[in-house]
Structure 1
Amino acid sequence: MSTIEQIVNLVRNQREFFNSGKTLHYSYRKHQLKLLKNMLKAYEKEIHQALYSDLNKSAYETHTTELGFLYSEIDFTLKHLKKWMDPEKADAPITHKGTRNYIYKEPYGVILTIAPWNYPLHLAIAPLIGAIAAGNTAVLKPSEFTQSTSSLVAEMIKETFDPSFIAVVEGAKEVTKQLLEQRFDYIFFTGSTAVGKIVMQHASKNLTPVTLELGGKSPAIIDKDANIDLAAKRLVWGKFTNAGQTCVAPDYLYVHSKIKSKLVKAIKKYITEMYSKWPLENDDYIRIVNKNHFNRLRPFLSNGKLVIGGGFNEEDLKIEPTILDEITWNDPVMQDEIFGPILPLVTFTDLQHVITELKGREKPLALYYFGEKEKSQQNVLENVAFGGGCINDTLYHLANPHLPFGGVGNSGMGAYHGKYSFNTFSHQKSILRQTTKFDLPFRYPGSKLSFAIVKKIMK
């Protein structure tokens, strides 16, 4: 049987299973979420090995950026799922006297999730948590660029779940294309903006709703009144975690001219503290995912003026944490999202000029502002559009399950995490229950009194 025939049969079987109604029950969803967590626990050793093989991830990074998040997300979902599933009461205007109004949460059906390579476990499983919680079935396509993790995810899912409920399809872009040609009820994609546009084109053929978690050039603004030491520490952590291969990593810095030299000095200190004086020799330092991405990044090292790092090891696919100064928007490193351990620095003297410049560019997935003045903080928050971010920190907003995570414009559409994952994979179905104990006459045509009443209450 060909791959396309297998995919067609898989989607058909999942639709039949969904139509059976089994996934509608709270007890079923709860059990499957517990199975998911038990699966991750049982395979922890193999997960560490796969992520080390694919990206040289240490046990620390694997737990903090992949497994730990998933455990917390599952626990949070289990704690609140029953309440999320309950119909929500809705208010009604005076014209609806005698009615009871509700919002029911209805699963979409068969979900397609396409995962990226940079957090190959986390970003494959996290959407599944929401899909399961909302009562859907799901087909998962992991990234072929992290093959060890992809194969392990396929093995884990196959050993844990009925393929009519959750299944993994592995392969390269040809397989992704075959999947996108099927009629799914919802598509969740994490990846580049360019591929996101292709996903949306395919989805439009069947008017399939989508969530697109994309990226973009996410700025960090360090103002003159920032706590320089803490800003440097949090910037180094946010940028060089996973060797910069993070969709919400600071992509470049806007640094006030008065504090630039002090900030660069502090950044160098924290790079040494976190990754040693010789990061390329640090066994726990993450590598670039493959040769193509390494070759894409390496030319950026010659942009502007090299002030920190710049070293690389082609054999190990590692690039040192690097800071570039004297950068302009004409430099190649500023044309697209970097997605690597290279951090360009742009100097400014007027915050308003930065805001004006950002408003003229594509909306980023994240923005980070470092500064103590609340007026300046509010100025940035109110006048610059972006997916989400932090004041005086980086990345940390992702770890709060009470906050939605998602992009806007070119950086994506839709959001997830916590209840927002449940909502993403649920159709909000509006229901009005009408009384039969009485009937308001003014809603019907035929009398001048009815018209007068309508004009009075609907003016």
Structure 2
Amino acid sequence: MNILDKSYKSNIEELKNKVITGQTESISWRIQQIRKVSQLLDENKKEIIKALFLDLGKSELEALSEILLIKEEISLIKKNLRLWMRPKKVKTPIYLFPSFSKVIYEPLGCVLILGPYNYPLLYLLKPLVNIFSSGNTAVIKPSEKCSSTSKLIKKLTDKYFQKDILFTIEGDYKESIKLVEQNFDHIFFTGSTETGKSIMKSASTNLTPLTLELSGTNPVIIFKNANLEIAAKRIVWGKFFNSGQSCMAPNHIFVEKEIENQLVKELKKFINIFYGEDPIISKNLSKLEKKQFSITSELLKKYKKEKRILFGGTCSKKRMKISPTILKVKLHDNNIIQKELFSSLLPVIGIDNKDLALKKINQASKPLAIYIFGGNKKIHDHISKVTSSGTVCINDVMLPVLIPNLPFGGVGESGMGKFHGEEGFKNFSNQKSITYKGFLFDLDFRYPPYNKVMKIIKFIFKI
């Protein structure tokens, strides 16, 4: 069905009218919708886990992590929403007495969510509960690359929600393009930087505001005083979770040359512990998306030919998997350092000092995350000040995305806008200012002619 059909247009109008008529203003309405999301997850866990396995080969734990992160967000919102919704008083200058000002948070209207393939449930329903917390309605478009999950989301949302509150549309990327061209009140998109640019261009026709959660070439910097065993363990977990198809996954490692060989040894050790001697058959290693598998395979061929594979490098087209692979990379290899790999390839770059790494980081697009292991507070503060990124995480990876009340989002080419918790509530609200002025003390100074007031102003400011 064409998205421009009158039936779809009328659905969007219904969703907008639900908000305009004030039916979504109350906290009870908002909590009711959020509880429905929770109920949907609780009553359909097995189906969700199965769909994520069929589409992405996700282990039960990886599938459950998507569910649990949404549930954690729901719990935070239910506890704090009443407080977030309260009008905020703003101080008004004394010379405007008697008057007062405040900010209220009103719903934006109908929000479009375009879901990604790598976390096809999480990045539809997590922003959705933020959207409901702000009193909005929504249209969601699951990723066509995850057909089983997309069909299940359509079936479940139709079951649990009225169509004037939440409407799910399936289809390919052409449907997404047509959706973006509609007059939504906000668009939330998770995906690649290039696609984000295209969506931004299309949305500009209607001046539709955007939240873009995009890709990032997230570097890791490891200093010689780091605990290499724990650092390697955490990096291997974060990098190869979902086969590296996470926007927050470590992309490449800068490591001081003195400890480079020891780090590689520790990385190899934990890859074997986590995924076994043949990771391709490991149930803990998920599949790569078809296009991503093809891109990664070609890159792998190049590094095999150049004999720069330090570990791994096994491929299976039948299983759509590439084993966790460590690459030996030089500092001037910009093609791989400045590119989001979004796969199970992990380049390691030996450096003489941190300044070389910082120079490379600042030459590339701003990352979603910078990870630091070791160093000290002075070094941590310095790196935070001289680089720009969505987040900085010290002695671990991926943690910022796991903290529900921490604002999450990118900067520059890694995204715009924040969500999670209160920041998500504010992101999908219009912060409307209201000012009240009484009728007492209506002094003439503000009105023309300005002769008297100008004399006072010149005296005070010595003009």
Give the TM-score category using the shorter length: over 0.9
- Counterpart residue type for residue 268 of structure 2: K
Q: Residue by residue, what CA displacement relative to the aligned partner does 1:325-379 show, whole Å, maximum 9, x if unpaired?
A: 1345446434521100100111111111221222222111111011131111111
- Counterpart residue type for residue 386 of structure 1: S
Structure 1: where are the runs of 5+ without partners? none
- What is the Cα deviation at residue 14 of structure 1? 1.2
Aligned partner of residue 30 in structure 1, secondary structure: helix
Counterpart CA distance in 2 for 1:414 and 1:78 is 22
- What is the Cα deviation at residue 457 of structure 1? 7.6
Whether contact under 8 Å (1:146, 1:289) holds in the other structure is no
Match of 1:446 among 439, 445, 449: 449
Q: Which residue of 1 aligns with 2:146?
A: 146
Aligned pair in 2 of structure 1 residues 456, 381: CA closer, same or farther (>3 Å)? farther
Aligned pair in 2 of structure 1 residues 139, 457: CA closer, same or farther (>3 Å)? farther
Counterpart CA distance in 2 for 1:458 and 1:9 is 60
| 1:387 partnered with 2:386 | no
Q: Residue by residue, what CA displacement relative to the aligned partner does 1:386-441 show, whole Å, maximum 9, x if unpaired?
A: 11130111000111122111111111111111111111100111111112233243
Aligned partner of residue 345 in structure 1, secondary structure: strand
Q: Residue by residue, what CA displacement relative to the aligned partner does 1:237-291 show, whole Å, maximum 9, x if unpaired?
A: 110110100011011111110110111111111111211222112123211122x
- What is the Cα deviation at residue 39 of structure 1? 1.0
Whether contact under 8 Å (2:76, 2:405) holds in the other structure is no
Aligned pair in 2 of structure 1 residues 97, 61: CA closer, same or farther (>3 Å)? same
- Counterpart residue type for residue 196 of structure 2: G
Q: Which residue of 2 aligns with 1:27?
A: 28
- Counterpart residue type for residue 16 of structure 2: R
RMSD of equivalent CA atoms: 1.7
Whether contact under 8 Å (1:329, 1:335) holds in the other structure is no
Counterpart CA distance in 2 for 1:88 and 1:393 is 36
Counterpart CA distance in 2 for 1:371 and 1:154 is 46
Q: Residue by residue, what CA displacement relative to the aligned partner does 1:210-246 show, whole Å, maximum 9, x if unpaired?
A: 1111012111111122111111111111101101000
Q: Which residue of 1 aligns with 2:427?
A: 424
Q: Which residue of 2 aligns with 1:300?
A: 299
TM-score relative to the length of structure 1: 0.96
Q: Which residue of 2 aligns with 1:317?
A: 320
Q: Residue by residue, what CA displacement relative to the aligned partner does 1:41-82 show, whole Å, maximum 9, x if unpaired?
A: 111111111111111111111122x01100000110111111
- Counterpart residue type for residue 46 of structure 2: K
Whether contact under 8 Å (2:240, 2:285) holds in the other structure is no
- Counterpart residue type for residue 50 of structure 1: A
Counterpart CA distance in 1 for 2:457 and 2:10 is 55
Counterpart CA distance in 1 for 2:385 and 2:292 is 36
Counterpart CA distance in 2 for 1:166 and 1:327 is 50
Aligned pair in 2 of structure 1 residues 363, 259: CA closer, same or farther (>3 Å)? same
- Counterpart residue type for residue 168 of structure 2: V
TM-score relative to the length of structure 2: 0.95
Runs of 4 or more consecutive aligned structure 1 residues displaced over 6 Å after TM superposition: 456-459
- What is the Cα deviation at residue 7 of structure 1? 2.5
Q: Residue by residue, what CA displacement relative to the aligned partner does 1:67-101 show, whole Å, maximum 9, x if unpaired?
A: 11000001101111111111111112223222111
Q: Which residue of 2 aligns with 1:358?
A: 361
Counterpart CA distance in 1 for 2:166 and 2:139 is 6
Aligned partner of residue 258 in structure 2, secondary structure: coil
Percent identity over the alignment?
38
- Counterpart residue type for residue 299 of structure 2: F
Q: How many residues align?
A: 457
Whether contact under 8 Å (2:238, 2:249) holds in the other structure is yes
